[in-house]
Each structure stands twice: as structure tokens, then as C-alpha cells.
Amino acid sequence: MKKSKGIITLIVIAAFMILLGYTTIFGLGKFGGAAKNINLGLDLEGGVSITYQVKGDKPSDEDMSDTIYKLQRRVEQYSTEAQVYQEGDDRISIEIPGVTDANTILDELGQPGSLYFIREKDTEGAANYTVDSTGKYVLNKSIEEIEADGSILLTGSDVKSASAGTQQDSTTSATSNVVQLSFNKEGTEKFAEATKAAKEAGETIAIYYDGELISVPRVNAVIEDGQAVIEGSMTYEEADNLASTIRIGGLNVELQELRSNVVGAQLGEEAVSTSLKAGAIGLAVVFIFMIAVYLIPGLASSLALLIYTELILVLLNAFDITLTLPGIAGIILGIGMAVDANVIIFARVKEELTAGKTVKSALHAGFHKAMSAILDGNITTLIAAAVLWLKGSGTVRGFAQTLALGVVVSMFTALVITRLIIYSLYAAGIRNAKVYGRPKPARKPIDFIGKRKVFFIVSIIMCLSGLVFMGIHAGKGDGALNYSMEFKGGTATTVTFDKEYTLNEIDSQIVPKLEDVTGDKNVQVQKVEGTNQVIFKTQTLSLDKREAFNQVMTEEFGVNEAEGITSENISSTVSSEMRTDAVIAVVIATICMLLYIWFRFKDIRFATSAVLALIHDVLVVLAVYAIGRVSVGNTFIACMLTIVGYSINATIVIFDRIREELKTQRKDDLALLVNRCITATLTRSIYTTFTTFVMVAILYVMGVSSIKEFALPLMVGIGCGAYTSVCLTGSLWYVMKTRIGKKADVVSKKAGKKK
């Protein structure tokens, strides 16, 4: 690159950075983009709270659970952070963040459960629907008239499942997209009768949902086994949307609106502002550290990190990703993780400079040799994010979006922006090797393999300690883990005060007193806009604790107990189905990562070691929750998913170095080779851990209680990830390499001859 081109590139990057900064703060005209326009979750902004009541008799627990899960999947079209939970015996509450008009949501959400299969004509032969000038099918009568006439053949409660699929034509071999339907026992009988009648009359059966005909399939045969297929000219996405509508509309209960409110944010402005300040301070610390350690490359990476932060905020807005408080913590964590790729590159550059290469050659070799480790580490994390998004639900999908966005942007800034800045600075005349890092001679390999038994014993103790404490607490009847109301359900108490309190006043004056009398350190607060009402959500309160709660309100805040306090038990906001989805997603993600590492490293032992290390980190963090009785809520899911995405990176870097040396070095002393590779990457492991840890640590020191509960186990997970990568993964691979497989005996014999 010529000097003039280098200077121009630096000017363009500076302009790009300023433009991003301006867009982040003020927005870009009609295109928006300002950080203030990012969709926020219930905890940061509030939204609409709608309560439905079941029509008719008291529903069964199974019906309520099924309805809650299906509604959860339905409201995710508004936000991945929307919550659905049971209130009392026959009510369901839906909370959707980022909106303020309850009527609009009610209109769009419609009446859940209104899925009907309708015959083409009524009993007198008159058509129930016609086709208008636009080709759209329109009902001639109200649904009440059609129901009274007996033209409704099945309802949503008769549908067992609906999914998109493909079908091959037996004559033309052409493949088409279809919707596969399955009915329950009662639905199978009804559908058999309906298709028989429709086949004889040459009619269609219309599927009607929330005031709209979504499909009018023609009946080609009598279907008696409860398995049907809807055919037609549609894309796979259209088939998937139709299947989703049928599946979600197939509720087992009919609901009617009971009430709707606009609720305020669950957390005060102080919580958000302190988290943002913590992020700014952490970012500054990382900048100073990188410049102090890596000089010019450190400056380049700091500028790239600033662009990374700006891009993240702009893209959150562009992709309508809902941001919650754990999301802010995730972004701050992502800033620390984004340093990782830069550290890998600069560590390689230092090695090349130490070997006596010129600055230009060292830079080129550093970026080239770091490429495989960066790509493999980030792709494994992207695989996890993709699986979590596809198979997860609710907050899991929201976390997956943020994680994937952070990974893609961090790779772009490290491999493109940092590279451009460094090469432009070099072209502009900054070519002294001393400002590109202080070369250090290679340190003597540390004998990690020789201490492997100690590491294994320590790890087993750490992993088992959590399980032991979980058993002890379960035996006492306290629960294996300290589940919050989000996991176990709880009590929602609506209090009407004689004056309006701000959220900060509630957090500072009222919540601490309630924490003392209820024993719940994670009290959630929601204000009902336009009133003096405040909803306090806690773990399930016994009669004594309810009385103590009421006493605090009446004696210290002058609330009328008879008229101003109402309590209702509520179900968990994280349903059992959502928990199952999360577990299945993590298991599938882990298997996919194992397969990818196996494919890339051509050795199942690399993949197995990496996955065992990942499981180890999850168990250690679980031990922190069990021993410290840290509240297990939505942040627990985010924390565990972060560990899954983060802990694999350092392992990949070490394995990448081992793979590289296995190609070029003699293999007669495998233990020495592994020790040398771990030692060579030790500085990288320490620096990356420090930069990530310091971001979360500052968040812990400055954050509110809910942030502290997220940050504490995360700090343990980050530290444990470094320990696992350095002390365990290499040793695990070495043990499997020398004791498992056909090559093990050969390697062992060579090592023995060496000794």
C-alpha cells in the first residue's frame, strides 16, 4: 500500500467512525438508527400487559400449559422477550415489551383459539364463503351464524400438530412444499367424516383463523388415519407460516380478554445508566490495556473495538432485536470477547518479530496464521447461536440473535477494520518494529501434562461439589437450586398507593423492605401507567409472608389493606416447554460443535476434549448457583448460554497450535509438544481472560442486584474457561491420544523410547 493510499484509508475509516457515532447518538434522518430507538424489553422500557380468562369450565393443568406454550410462540412475532404466564386457576397474562397501545395489540393478536375447519356450503346448500375480485376468499356470514348452522367441522383443539414439509410427486418426481397435519383421536374421527362428506359433494374445507380464511384445500380422498397434507403452489416459508398459524391457533381453550394495562419498566433509569457507565469504563480499561501491551496494533484494535460497539448499536436497531438488561451485559461481554481475535493476531505478530522477520512480513504472517483459529472459534459459536435460534424459544432466541450479531461483527472488525488500520499506519510511515510490539524470547515450556492428575482431581471436585450441594438443599426441602419466580412461579401483589412513586423511589425505599420480609432477593416491580398501582412479583408467599408484606404496606406506606392490596399466584414465565426447548437446543448445539471440530481437526479426540471442557465449565458455574444460592431466573439461561458460546474459543486456539505443530514438528515426545503449544498461547489466554473479566467485573461492582446475579457466575465461568483451556483440554487430548485408538500404541512406544 502506498503512503497516499494509507493516509486516505485512515481518513475514510475516521469518517466512517464519526458517521457511525453520529448515527448511534442522533440517527440518520428518515432511516433512524439512533440507539434510543432500539427495541427494549419489559425490564428496560415496559409495554402492554393483557390478561385473558378461560371461557367455560375450569381448564385442566395440561390444557393451560399447552395454551401458554402456544401463546408464547405466537407473541414472539412482536418480541422474543414477550412473556406468557398463568395467573390463578383460569387466567393467562401476556406481557409484550416496547408497545404502549393495548388496543392495537388486542386487535392484532385477535382471539386465541379461534381456528375452525368450515365446510364449503351450509345445510341448505348456500355457500359459506365466496371469492372476491382480488381472489381472496371471504366469508358470507359471521362465525356465530356458521357455528349455529353446524358448518364448523373441527376446531383448533382437534389439531395435534402441524408442520411444513416437502412431498415428491410419484409421476413427475417433482418436489413441492406442503403442510403436514396430524389430528388427535377425536379430531381424527371428525376429519374422517368431514372428508367423506366433502369428497362425495366435491367440496372444499376452509380453514378459518381470527377473522381470516388462511387456506381452502380441496379434498381429494377420504382421510381416516388423522394424517393430512395441504398441497398448493407455495414456498417453504409460506408453508411454514401456514403450519405455524394452524399450530398456534390450535389451542385447547377459548379465551376472552379480562383486562389490559400499559406497564412501566421493571428497572429504574439508575440500573440502565450504571450499566452503560460500567460498559464505558470497561471499554476504556480495555483500550488502555491493549495500547500498553501492543502499542500501535493495540491502538488499531481499540479503534476497531469502538467501531464494533457503534455497529452493534446500529444493527440492533436495524434488525429490530429486543434488548434487555442481560442483553446489555451480553454486549458488554461481547466487547471483551471481540478483543480475543486481535490478541490472537498480535501474539502471532510478536512471535514473528521475535523470530527476526521484518515488520511487514510479521504483520502478514500474523494475520495469516491467526486466521484458522479465529474462524474455527467463531464458527463454532455461530453454530451454537444458529441452533439456539432455530430450536429455542423466548429469551433463548433473543440471546441467540445478540450472540450471532456480536460474533459476526467482531470477526469483521478484527479481520477487516483492524487489518486496514494497521496496514494504513504502516504505509503512512510508522514502520519501526519497536512500536509493533516488544518481542520476547519464547519461554520455557511449562509442564502442564505432568500435572494433569492434579488438574483432573481439582476439576472433579469442583464439578461434584455443585451436585452435592444441590442434593443437600433438595434433602432439606429448599430446592436443589434457588429458583426464582420466573422458573417456579410466585405471587403477584398489586398495591394501590395514595401517591405516585417513581421506579427509583420504589427500588430504594420499598423493595429493600419487601426483600427483608419475603426473603426474596429478586423482587420484580412493574408500574401501571396512569395510576398509582404497582405490581410486585415475588417467589410464592406463604400466609405468614403475605401478612408481613401487607403489614409493611399498611404501616409504613399508608396503604388500605382491604382496598389497596390484591394478591394472586402466578405460574413461571419460563414454562417447562421453554426449558425443554433450551436444553434440547444446547444439546444439539454441543453435538453440532463436536461434529464441526471433528471435521476441521480430523480427530474425534480434539472434539471430545473440547466438549468435555465445555460440560466442565457449565457444571462449575452450576456449582456457583447451587453453593451461593444465586437466584435462577432468565439471567441463568443467558449466563449458561454465554458460557457455551465463550468457553470453546480458548480451547480452539490451543488445538489450532497443536494441529499446526503436528504437521511440522517431530512427534517422538508428544507431551513436550502439547506443553510447548499451551505455553506459547498462554499469554493470549491470560490477556483475553483479563479483558473479558474486567468488563464483567466492573459491571458487577457498579450494577444493580439483578445485574450482579448475572455477572457473578459469569465471572466464575470466564475464569473457569481459562483454567479449562490451559490446564485440562490439552491434557485430555494427550490422554486420549496416547491411550485411545490405533495410533495410541505407536505414540506411547515412541514416547517411551525417548525416555
What value does the mean pLDDT take over residues 276-281? 82
Report pLDDT for 752: 42
Determine how β-strand 175-183 pairs with β-strand 159-168: antiparallel
Percentage of residues of the chain with pLDDT beyond 70: 86
pLDDT digits (tens, 9 = 90+) for 660-674: 888 876 656 889 999
Ordered DSSP codes for 419-432: HHHHHHHHHTT---
Cα–Cα distance between 382 and 396 in angstroms, integer?
Answer: 14
Angle (deg, nearest 10), helices 705-723 and 325-354: 30
How far apart are alpha carbons 411 and 408 in whole angstroms? 5
- Integer Cα distance of 703 and 632 in angstroms: 18
Mean per-residue pLDDT for 531-540? 87
Superfamily grouping for domain 3-36+267-436: Multidrug efflux transporter AcrB transmembrane domain (1.20.1640.10)
The letter for the amino acid at 649 is: N
Residue 745 confidence class, pLDDT cut points 50, 70, 90? very low
As a whole number, mean pLDDT of residues 469-478 equals 89
Residue type, 394: G
CATH of domain 449-466+577-754: 1.20.1640.10
Cα–Cα dist 755/751, whole Å: 6
At position 86, the amino acid (one-letter code) is: Q
> Could you tell me if 403 and 388 are in contact, meaning their C-beta atoms sit under 8 angstroms apart?
yes
The H-assigned helical ranges of 602-704 are: 604-628, 634-664, 670-680, 682-702
The strands making up 205-209's β-sheet, listed across from edge to edge, are 152-155, 115-119, 205-209, 212-215
Residue 393 banded pLDDT, cuts 50, 70, 90 = low
Number of C-beta neighbours around residue 711 at 10 A = 25
Question: Of 277, 292, 632, nearest to 482 (Cα)?
Answer: 632
Query: What is the domain partition of the chain in residue ranges?
Result: 3-36+267-436, 47-112, 115-250, 449-466+577-754, 490-570
Least reliable range by pLDDT among 81-85, 112-116, 450-454, 490-494: 112-116
Q: What is the pLDDT of residue 741?
A: 58
Q: Of 73, 51, 207, nearest to 128 (Cα)?
A: 207
The CA distances from residue 437 to 308, 341, 346, 363, 738, in Å, are 23, 16, 8, 11, 38
pLDDT at residue number 578 = 67
**pLDDT: which is higher, 396 or 535:** 535
Q: How many CB atoms lie within 10 A of CB 465?
A: 17
Burial of 456: CB neighbours in 10 Å, binned 0-12, 13-18, 19+: middle
Among candidate residues 119, 111, 209, the one with its CA nearest the CA of residue 156: 209
Reply yes or no on whether the pLDDT at 179 is more than 70: yes
Which helix (H) or strand (E) element contains residue 206?
Answer: strand 205-209
At residue 748 the predicted structure's pLDDT band, cuts being 50, 70 and 90, is very low
Taking the domain 490-570, which CATH number applies? 3.30.70.3400
C-alpha grid cell, residue 454: 492434579
DSSP 380-404: HHHHHHHHHHHH--THHHHHHHHHH
Of 89, 211, 91, 190, which is closest to residue 146 (Cα–Cα)?
211
Whose grid coordinates read 379430531? 187
Q: Give the model's confidence band at 531: pLDDT under 50 very low, under 70 low, under 90 confident, else very high.
A: confident
Confidence of residue 16 (pLDDT cuts 50, 70, 90): very high
- Lowest-pLDDT range of 119-133, 148-162, 645-659: 119-133
Report how far residue 225's alpha carbon sits from residue 222's, in angstroms, rounded to the nearest whole number. Answer: 9
Prediction pTM value: 0.70
Higher pLDDT, 85 or 457: 457
Of residues 135 and 499, more confidently modeled: 499
Give me Rg for the CA atoms of the chain: 30
Read off the pLDDT of each residue in 417-430 and give the average, rounded to a whole number.
Answer: 91
Q: Do domains 47-112 and 490-570 have the same CATH topology?
A: yes
Locate cell 378461560: which residue?
Answer: 54
Task: Say what the pLDDT of residue 381 is.
Answer: 81
In contact, 266 and 43? CB cutoff 8 Å: yes
Phi, psi of 54 (to 5 degrees): -75, 135
Contact yes or no for 314/390 (Cβ under 8 A): no
For the chain, what is the mean pLDDT? 82
pLDDT digits (tens, 9 = 90+) for 323-371: 776 666 667 666 766 788 888 888 888 888 888 888 889 899 989 888 8
Residues 92-112: tens digit of each pLDDT: 888 888 766 666 666 555 455
Distance CA 237, CA 234 (A): 8
Please compute the mean of the pLDDT values over residues 138-157 and round it to a whole number.
81
683 or 619, which is more confident?
A: 619
**Top-level CATH class of 47-112?**
alpha beta
Q: pLDDT band at 614, cuts 50/70/90?
A: confident
pLDDT confidence bin for 211, thresholds 50/70/90: low
The answer to whether the CB of 324 falls within 8 A of the CB of 398 is yes
What is the structure's pLDDT at 30? Answer: 61
DSSP state letter for 204: B
Residues 6+ apart with CB under 8 A from 686: 722
Question: SS3 of 87, please?
Answer: strand
In CATH terms, 115-250 corresponds, of 3.30.1360.200, 1.20.1420.30, 3.30.70.3150, 3.40.30.10, to 3.30.1360.200
* Range from 134-143, 185-194, 298-307, 447-456 carrying the lowest mean pLDDT: 134-143
Nearest to 601 by CA among 655, 647, 649, 651: 655
Report d(CA 113, CA 254) in Å as an integer. 5
Q: Which of 386-400, 609-623, 711-725 has the lowest mean pLDDT?
A: 386-400
The reported pLDDT for the residue numbered 564 is 87
